[in-house]
Homo-oligomer: A and B are copies of this chain.
Amino acid sequence: MSSDQAVQDIVTPLENTTIASASDQKAEQIVDPWNVQGAIVDGKQLGIDYDRLIESFGTRKIEEALLNRMETLTGRKPHVLLRRGVFFSHRELSSILDRYEQKKPFYLYTGRGPSSDNMHLGHMVPFLFCQYLQEVFGCPLVIQLTDDEKFLFKPNLKLEDCIRFSKQNAKDIIACGFNPEKTFIFSDLLHVGGPFYHNVVRISRCITYSQSKSTFGFIESDNVGKSHFVCIQAAPSFSNSFPHIFGTRSDIPCLIPCAIDQDPYFRLTRDVAHKLKYPKPALIHAKFFPALQGPGTKMSASVDTSAIFMTDTATQIKNKINRHAFSGGGATMELHKEHGGKPEEDIPFQYLSFFLDDDEEIEEIEKNYRAGTLSTGDLKKRCIEVLQKFVGDFQKRKEAITDEVVEKYMTPRSMNIDLSA
Q: Which residues of A are at the interface with B, using a C-beta cutoff of 8 A? A: 148, 151-152, 155, 159, 189-194, 197-198, 201-202, 204-210, 212-213, 218, 220-225, 227-228, 230-231
Contacts and interface: CB of A to CB of B under 8 A. Distances in A.
A330 to B, nearest CB: 50
B225 A220 contact: no
Contacts of A212: 224
Contact of A201 (B159, B197, B206): B159
Nearest to A211: B224
B198 A223 contact: no
Count of chain copies: 2
A223 B197 contact: no
A187 to B, nearest CB: 11
A218 B209 contact: yes
A209 B220 contact: yes
A207 B224 contact: yes
A268 to B, nearest CB: 10
Contacts of A192: 192-193, 197
B224 A209 contact: yes
B204 A193 contact: no
A148 B201 CA distance: 7
Most chain B beta-carbon contacts within 10 A, residue among A192, A212, A221, A223: A223
A118 to B, nearest CB: 23
A155 B220 contact: no
Nearest to A230: B224
Given A148-B201, A159-B201, A159-B202, A208 B189 contact: no
Specify the main secondary structure of chain A where it touches its partner: helix
6 contacts: A155-B205, A189-B197, A204-B223, A207-B223, A208-B220, A208-B221
A53 to B, nearest CB: 26
Given A192-B193, A225-B231, A228-B225, A210 B201 contact: no
A235 B275 CA distance: 30
Contacts of A206: 223
A11 to B, nearest CB: 16
Nearest to A151: B201
Contacts of A230: 224
A151 B224 contact: no
Contact of A225 (B201, B210, B225): B201
A218 B117 CA distance: 39
Nearest to A160: B198
Given A151-B205, A209-B227, 8 more contacts: A159-B198, A189-B197, A204-B228, A205-B225, A208-B224, A209-B209, A224-B230, A224-B231
The 10 closest A-B pairs by CB, nearest first: A193-B193, A204-B225, A210-B220, A228-B228, A224-B228, A148-B201, A209-B220, A208-B221, A192-B197, A205-B223
A58 B207 CA distance: 34
A229 to B, nearest CB: 9
Contacts of A223: 204-209
